[in-house]
Amino acid sequence: MALSDNEQQILAQIEHDLKADERFAQAVSSSGLYRHSARTAWWAGVGIVVCLALTILALQIHFLLAFAGFIAMLGCALIVERQLRAMSKVGLRDVAETLRTSRMNAQKMREKFTRER
Write the pLDDT tens digit of every residue in 23-33.
766 666 655 66
Confidence of residue 51 (pLDDT cuts 50, 70, 90): very high
Q: Do 76 and 97 contact (CB within 8 A), yes or no?
A: no
Domain ranges of the chain: 32-116
Provide the whole-model pTM: 0.55
Q: How far is CA 84 from CA 40, 66, 97, in A?
A: 10, 27, 16
SS3 at position 59: coil
Determine what percent of the chain is predicted with pLDDT higher than 90. Answer: 34
Confidence of residue 73 (pLDDT cuts 50, 70, 90): very high
